[in-house]
Structure 1
């Protein structure tokens, strides 16, 4: 799904992602409320909701951050990628805090955007390289010593292999890169990530990474 208040931007993004035969654009919207309504309408009619939403930030009415939070709360299986022209850390930080799993600029290469769509559909997190370090630095600054101990306890039950997966995720590796580093199958990485989410009670990969840094790892 593509959400942007500029019709030409939506059209251009739609053309871009439709070049990939494995990606279908199932809906478009011009603001956050319309996006939420469109997804609800699909669900009410028994139709598949989008796996991934490409979400603009600055829109009239309900903006991208608010829409992301509302969509994730109501449809937790939908993954949101914040896609904006504004290269500002606050947009990334607020979007990720609202539940988005990625942040890219609209001037990213076409292959980077389609790769991000596939990555989010598989439950991976996607961030622009410059934003990644800044967001994680800001996240870690929010933790007190007591909170670090509390958050660190979430990882206490992880096996050595699962902890290695978390460390590699925190290093910005994708599932395929983790599999190569650990000399295991990519399917094994996906199973490990699922077990990590179950054991920690965290929502997604972004929460795993940010919590890992908050815990002072």
Structure 2
């Protein structure tokens, strides 16, 4: 992976923070290209459209980052990409949940540019980066971790879905195939498969029929009738 030109992706709804990451990735880590996006759905679509993304950075509380299944989908479909969670939170619960979901590292936004570059360099070398202070922070049983809180909702809760996953579900309820969904949403077949997998994880199902059954019960009639 290091022999080919390395491409990085940053997914964060704060454009100023993305600008800082771009500087670190380009000037300190030598990435010739840095792709930027502001939502999880867009990040998935960009990853699916390319096969040369070596590093993907996700903000913990960005739009669409609704459950550990979000990161697990990325790890499943893009195994060669190093995935990193970046957050303003230094909560031990946040760090452990992100790592359990498959992140190769967890970096606090409060780090200096030099320290953040070192942390990312460690991850790119094939290591897992954990904030040094993590072991010193006592677990807080009262803490409510964002992903854990959402993940505790019951299977079949469509409120877990991102906007794109909801569109895919609406078309699935209408009986559309992946190819038809791809054409109607102007996506590639591969991108639809990624969104479908994320949809299954968030709904807690493992088949199109089960997902369609949930969608049929919970989507409003007018929602199921649109999908374009």
TM-score between both structures, scaled by the size of structure 2 = 0.52
RMSD: 2.4
CA contact (8 A) 1:3 1:32 kept: yes
Higher helix share: 1
Match runs of 1:78-97 below 5 Å: 78-97=81-100
Quote the residue 1:18 is aligned against: 26
The structure with the largest alpha-carbon Rg is 2
Structure 2 unpaired stretches of 5+: 1-8, 142-228
- From the superposition, tell whether residues 123 and 40 of structure 1 become closer, same or farther in structure 2 (CA, over 3 Å): same
Residue 76 of structure 1 pairs with residue 79 of structure 2: yes
In 2, Cα distance between equivalents of 1:54 and 1:135: 26
Q: Give distance in 1, aligned partners of 2:137 and 2:130.
A: 11
1:55 aligns with 2:77: no
Q: 1:90 to 1:21 in 2, by over 3 A?
A: closer
Match of 2:57, SS?
strand
Seen in structure 2, the aligned counterparts of structure 1 residues 75 and 25 have a Cα distance that, compared at 3 Å, is same
Partner of 1:110: 113
2:30 aligns to what SS in structure 1? coil
3-state SS, counterpart of residue 127 of structure 1: coil
Could you say if the C-alpha distance between residues 16 and 63 of structure 1 is closer, same or farther in structure 2, counting changes exceeding 3 Å? farther
Q: Which residue of 2 aligns with 1:155?
A: none
CA contact (8 A) 2:25 2:34 kept: no
Give, in angstroms, the shift of residue 31 of structure 1.
Answer: 1.6
Alignment check: 8 A CA contact 1:36 1:70 kept: no
1:31 aligns with 2:39: yes
Moved more, 107-116 or 31-40: 107-116
Q: Deviations over 1:74-115 (max 9, x none)?
A: 011111121111111222111101110111111112122112
**Matched position secondary structure for 2:50:** helix
Q: What count of residue pairs does the alignment treat as equivalent?
A: 132
Give the secondary-structure state (helix, strand or coil) at the position aligned to 2:107.
strand
Distance 1:135 1:54 in 2: 26
Return the alpha-carbon distance in structure 1 between the equivalents of residues 138 and 57 of structure 2.
20
Separation in 1, partners of 2:124, 2:69: 21
Q: Are the equivalent residues in 2 in contact too, given 1:32–1:66 (CA < 8 A)?
A: no
